[in-house]
Every structure is written in structure tokens, then in C-alpha cells.
A and B are shown apart, each in its own frame.
Chain A
């Protein structure tokens, strides 16, 4: 079958030369390929940005990398002293007064969109944007940082009986995809099942969240945090490991008391993801007190539960 060529009279100039769109597209694509493959941010630009951030970022500032996919390179170049676990696996951004957003390709992090831009420094292909939080929260105590025998006592409550879980330093546990949140080396281990330790959970958006890994083992898991500075609210989040979020099992409830007085509880149901909660503690504001968290769930199956909470 031959390709018909249609020549109905004199073609208009644009019709006559319309064929040129195709070779132009080919050449444009070639040019775009050359530009794209030669516009990778060089290592020296990353290092210059790191020097700048190291010199200017305060410990309480956020350092974050944009777009999201460049985060591994940011962690590699900036190292764990700047790209700290607290910054990388933050519960949210509310506690940070300022953010150093280190970006390439005009990348911007959506959760910093409402922050006030104070300035931009450019280091070749890498830019550092300084942003100010319009309403930073003042965190008094972060309970995830208190997971140690000095500040925390863990017990398993069975009926009226409360059995202490011992703190130990053992080998961490991890596995292949589907294993879930890693079990940290430093952890409270409960006789009869259950443990508590600080780890990093993958939430339903696949973000890292530093949290207290406390899977309920069919009994109440009680965490007593000693000598906590109390503010006006307990501010927290909780989640299950992402694959467990799809198990559609019983909800997990966390109930807080301060010096024995009930403060409130939060319930996490499957597929709710990294769910925030806030409980009023105004009655105890300005005091130091014991904060107790009771974690309950009627089943232990795939309840890979992790929470974080701070006082503010």
C-alpha cells in the first residue's frame, strides 16, 4: 500500500512548511537532552551550600532538601550533624523557628509554602532559602528523646498487675521489605511479649517519622515519663507502619495522665496515617510532672504502632 501524497492546489506557506515541525521537534529534543544531562548540580555546589548552612543554622532550625527525591544526596553531603535524625524524621515543622531549604531545580517543599522567605543564597546549581516560621511552637520536652532508663519506666499491665519491662542494649532487628519499623538496639523488653524503643516509622506517605515504637502486645503497655516540663498542650502524632495501616484490624488507643489525672486519649485507626493529636494540659502548665501513656489494643496482630509526643 503506497502512502498517498495529496496535493490539492497551491498550499499556503504554513502548510507548505508544516513538515518542519517534525525535524524541529527532533532537534529540540536532542538539545533538551544535552541541556538536561549537563545541568546536574556539581558536588562543589553542594559542599558550598553545606558550608553556608553549617555556619548559619542554629540547632533549633530545620534543614531540609528539595525536591524530596534529592534528600539522600543532601544527607550524604551535609552529614548526620546537619541532616540530623531529628530534622530528617521530624514529626512536623511546627517546632522549627526557621528553615534552611536546600534546593536544586527550583525545588520547594510544600509544607514550607506558608513560611516567610527571608533570603536566598545561591551556590551554582544549589540554592539555600532561609524561611521563617510564622508561628513557631516552643517545645518544652520531646518525649521521644526521653526513651532511656533515666527518664522512662515501661511496664505491661495485665489485669490489675503491672510488670516492669527491663531496659537492655541488644542487637537491633530489621529485615526485608515488609518487616516494618526497625527494632532499635536500646529498648525496653517486656516479659511475655512487647518492647518499647525509639525508632523511625515509615508513614503512609512514606516519610520517616522519629517516634516511640511501642507495639501493643494484647495487653496495656504503660510508659511513665518522669519529670517532664508541662506546658499548655501535649502535642503528638501516631501511626502504624505503612503496610500495617492496610491490615484493617482493631484501632490503637493511647491515653495520657499527668500525675494520675486523666488528660485525654487519641485513637488511631488503620489508614489514618501519621495522625496528629493535641490534648489540653493547661491545668498543669508550668509544673514538672510524670506523664503516663497507656497504649491499648485488643489485638497484637500487625499493630506496629509508633507515636511521638512533646509538651509545649
Chain B
């Protein structure tokens, strides 16, 4: 695949946004097409409810503004699930109200709820492409976007009406706007930085860490102007920082009616909730963690176990090259400060010109800050990989740069290739790095949380290593599809284990689970009982043995031979 043959102008422009939009649209279409294969995780049931509540308030605001603005009305609508800010839940609600309730675009209410998060996933690919195209090359951007979309965990979470993929996108978008503000100057991108920071704050609390990326980066970019200003007694701040400080909180405040009353107390509660979040169970290397200290190896091992190895190898190539370039630059700077000690480097005619946006520093900070908290022993690990998704677009950007390097090296090694042969060789190279992520990601669906990459032996390898099998109780849908819907007695009672009542009711509403089946909250009440396998959930298995009088499941939902859900029948 040779991008130059597409005859795009050298300058990145609207055509590139067309490519980004096409990638986004294709990804969203795939997500919509596979939406029904994934059941409803615990959190989604809550967010569906919150979304309906929030959009109800917005409708009330349009119809009876005086009534809507009373604190009682605000708290009634927005008090539910106020541990998370409102942006995505509001969008889920608007999508549900317009595309399901009003215009009947989607038969399934859940698909309408999920659509905004899916769109943010598509947007992440779009921005990644454009970012990569501007920072490296079009092919680097394209590879980066595709490899981001073909991370199995990203693909899984991209389906859900949750906040993990949306905050990944907002993190990326805010940093892209900030980067453009440094590259271009002017006020528009600076304003966009503030706006997107506010939207990120309104999406998920990962946004609290964005200043840790932007502030040091902006200060470094503008270091000379800042120092020069200080010398003449003038404080000069980068415009994107000012924008983030002023516009970001304003957008956040405006988007969340819940904090319009008792603002300080409620925002403080929100901070304290997340700073003192309880620990949930999570298996790692055969041990169940549900309190500090969290294992420091968790993040690197889980990245190795869930991100395709070829993506990581391209990341290593790209990151190493950029680190080497940074090292050379640092050395050159040091030679100017210590000319007697350090010999000057010979100038490299092919060395890249100075980067006004300090892209490498921004990407490095974006990754380090996104993953940094997960090396602290107090940080809970219960979210698996989803809590550090904001690092992944930047990992993919470095992988895209790595692909550029590999492609260039191949062309140097095969100088005789030209024209169609070179294009074929490049296409083969592209296929070789995309095929495995595509196959692994496609195969992971719908068991995205159970799947592990071939490097650790796939799903069974993950089970061998004692890595978490799943969480959130969403696989009861698979139990219904594979067994309950065809085999359960009429009106049978089913112990639904980790699945929430809301999630089960939604699955019944949408015909995913037979409507006559009655959910119950304990095994002894049930004719059929589900166990969604997780190490700490073994307790429920044993309860069923005692209450059903048998330790033999009737049926097991498996993925690659690994038990996902055991179904017992009395």
C-alpha cells in the first residue's frame, strides 16, 4: 500500500480528515454490527438508567425551565450516579431519546445508548490518523489508527455505554488541540484546548491528570519566551494553559447541573470518592487482589498480555528511534553547555529539523502520565486495562512511526524494487503487521475481557497464568444464547450471579434473554444457576454445590476451551 499513489497533496488537509472520517465510520459500523453480541456489564445498566434520567431533565428544561432549575428537580434527575460526571451519560440519553424512543432508528435501546461511546471510539481513530499524519507521515497515522482499533480490549470497551473509551478519546483530543496550539500559534487551537479539557473533565476523572501532561510540555515549548518575559518583569503563559485554566472548569461546571448547587461540597465529594475508592477483586498471576499494595508489575504484564505483540514491537521500534533522537538532541545541548568536556557531535544532514510542537515530549508525557498512577501501590487494579486506555493512542502513534521506519528499512534493503513491486512489498508489510491484530481482535469478540494475545498463549494461556477471566457479569447473555433460551423450563428461576437486575431486564426487553425467565438473587431460590468465572467468585460455585446437591454443571460457556460461565440445573 503506497499512500503516495493516492496523489494526496503533501500538506495535511481536508482530504486527510476524509480518510480519518472513513476510518471512524467503518469502525463505528463494525461496533454497531457486533453490538448485540455483547451483554450488558454491571456498569452499563447503571449508566442506561442515569442517561434516561439526565435526558429527562433536559426535556423538562425545554418544556418547563423554571421547574427544571429548582434544586429538587436537579437533584432528583442528576443525583443518580453522581460519582461520575455527566457528559457521556447525557449523550447516551440524548441518543436513546432521539434514535430509539422518538425516531426509532435503532430497534435496541441499548444500541442507541451505546452509540455516542462508539462514536468516540471512531473519533479516536480519526484523531490518531490525523495526529500521526501530521507528526510523522500518512502511512504512520493510518497504521497507528488501525492498530489502535485492533487492540482487543479497546475493541471490547468501544462497544459499551461507559466512559473508558470516551476518556481515551478526550485525552487524545485535548492533547491534539494543545499540540496544534503549539504548532500553529493563534487563539483557536488554544480555545479548543480549554474546551476539550472541560469536556474531558466532564467525561471521567482521568482528566485530572491532563495538566500533568500539558503544563510541563507547554512550559518546555515556551521556555525561552517565558524566561525572556521574566527578565523584563512580565509573566508570559502559554495560551493553551490559560485556556485550560479558564475554559476547562467553566465547561465542566456548565455541563453538570448536579454541581450547580453546593458546588464546593459536591465537587469535593467527587474527588474524595475517587481518591478513596474501594478496592474490588481482581485476579493477577493466580492471586486475588482486593486491597493495597497493588502489584507493580500489573500494568506491564497486562499490556504484554492484551496488546498484540506486533503492535508492541512496532511501538518499541518507534519509541527507540524517538528516544535515540531525543538523546542526540540532549547531547548536542549538553555540548553547548560543557564544550570542554563533551566533544561536539558531527552534524547529521538527514536529522529532522527542530519540532516546534515538541511532539516527542508530548507523546512521552501522554503515555507516562496515563500509566504512571498504576505503578503506585495504592492504586486499585480492578479495572483491568481499561483505566489506562488513554495511553494507547500514543502507544499506537509510536507504533505508526515504527512502521514508517520498518518500511524505510525494507525499501533500503530492497533497492531494486520499484513501481508495482515496491507497492506490493509495502502492502505485504502492512498486511503482516495488521493481520494478527485483526484476527486476534475479531476472535476475542464477545469475550473481550477473557481474551489474551498469542504471546501469553491466548485465552487458555491467560487462564494458565492466572489472569482475570472477566468482570462486570455481562456473559449471562452468552449463557442465555447458548443454553438457557433453548433449554430452560418455562418461567424457570435463574440465579443471575454477577449480572445486575437492570442489565438482565434490558437483555430480556431486547429479546437476548427469554422473557419468561425469572431472575433471582441467590442460588437456593433458583432452578438454574449461573457462575461467571472469576477466582473470587468460586464461592458461588460452592454455594450451588451445597444448595443444588451436585457439583456438576449442566453446560459451560467456553472461549477457546476456557470456562466462562457454568450453568447448573437443579
Contact = CB atoms under 8 A, between A and B. Distances in A.
A287 interface: no
A113 interface: no
A79 B457 CA distance: 29
A163 to B, nearest CB: 26
A286 interface: no
B413 A23 contact: no
B308 interface: yes
A36 B454 contact: yes
B454 A5 contact: no
Contacts of A75: 551-553
Nearest to A241: B539
Interface string A166-195: 000001111111011110110000000000
Contacts of B402: 22
Interface residues of B, number: 86
Nearest to B538: A206
Contact of B404 (A3, A16, A174, A181): A3
A20 B137 CA distance: 21
A202 B545 contact: no
B408 A182 contact: no
B561 A41 contact: yes
A4 B325 contact: yes
Interface string B37-78: 000000000000000000000000000000000000000000
Q: B413, B544, B558 — which one has the most chain A CB atoms within 10 A of its CB?
A: B413
A4 to B, nearest CB: 5
A76 B556 contact: yes
Q: A76, A171, A199 — which one has the most chain B CB atoms within 10 A of its CB?
A: A76
Given A6-B348, A37-B458, A174-B547, A22 B556 contact: no
Interface in B535-570: 535-547, 550-556, 558, 560-563, 566
Interface stretch (B367-375, B385-393, B435-443): B435-443
Give the interface residue-count category, chain A: 35 or more
Contact of A172 (B429, B521, B547, B558): B547
A113 B469 CA distance: 26
Given A3-B352, A67-B464, A79 B552 contact: yes
Contacts of B409: 16, 18-19
B445 to A, nearest CB: 13
Interface stretch (B184-192, B266-274, B310-318): B310-318
B463 interface: yes
Contact of A73 (B435, B498, B556): B556
B405 interface: yes
Interface stretch (A27-35, A116-124, A143-151, A268-276): A27-35
A83 B550 CA distance: 10
A180 B543 CA distance: 8
A89 B428 CA distance: 54
A206 B288 CA distance: 9
B350 interface: yes
Contact of A33 (B357, B413, B454, B498): B454
B561 to A, nearest CB: 4
B352 A4 contact: yes
Contacts of A30: 435-436, 439
Interface in A74-113: 75-76, 78-80, 83-85, 88-89, 104-105, 107
B460 A105 contact: yes
A25 B399 CA distance: 14
B521 A175 contact: yes
Contacts of B550: 80
A85 B545 CA distance: 8
Given A3-B408, A22-B433, A30-B436, A80 B552 contact: yes
Contacts of A172: 524, 546-547
A134 interface: no
Given A19-B413, A37-B560, A72-B563, A176 B542 contact: no
Contacts, number: 219
A182 B524 CA distance: 9
Given A23-B429, A174-B543, A3 B321 contact: yes
A70 interface: yes
Contacts of A179: 522, 539, 543
B267 to A, nearest CB: 32
A1 interface: yes
B194 interface: no
A21 interface: yes
Nearest to A3: B404
B545 A208 contact: yes
B410 interface: yes
B553 A72 contact: yes
Contact of B522 (A24, A76, A85, A175): A175
Interface in B448-485: 453-455, 457-461, 463-464, 469
B432 A26 contact: yes
Nearest to A200: B542
A69 B460 CA distance: 9
Interface string B276-294: 0000000000001000000
B21 interface: no
B523 A182 contact: yes
Nearest to B546: A182
Contacts of B435: 26-27, 30
Q: A34, A200, A201 — which one has the most chain B CB atoms within 10 A of its CB?
A: A200
Nearest to A42: B561
A55 B484 CA distance: 33
B355 interface: yes
Contacts of A21: 313
B401 interface: yes
A3 B350 CA distance: 9
A19 B432 CA distance: 12
B406 A76 contact: no
A180 B540 CA distance: 9
A88 B558 CA distance: 21
A34 B435 CA distance: 12
Interface string A123-165: 0000000000000000000000000000000000000000000
A125 B435 CA distance: 28
B433 A26 contact: yes
A83 B551 CA distance: 8
B404 to A, nearest CB: 5
**What are the 6 closest A-B residue pairs judged by CB atoms, nearest first?**
A19-B409, A40-B561, A23-B432, A32-B454, A36-B458, A29-B436
14 contacts: A3-B352, A18-B409, A29-B455, A32-B455, A33-B443, A69-B463, A72-B531, A76-B554, A104-B561, A172-B546, A176-B522, A179-B522, A180-B539, A206-B288
Given A4-B325, A17-B413, A32-B454, 13 more contacts: A16-B412, A19-B413, A29-B440, A33-B439, A33-B454, A41-B561, A69-B464, A72-B553, A73-B558, A75-B552, A172-B524, A174-B546, A201-B542
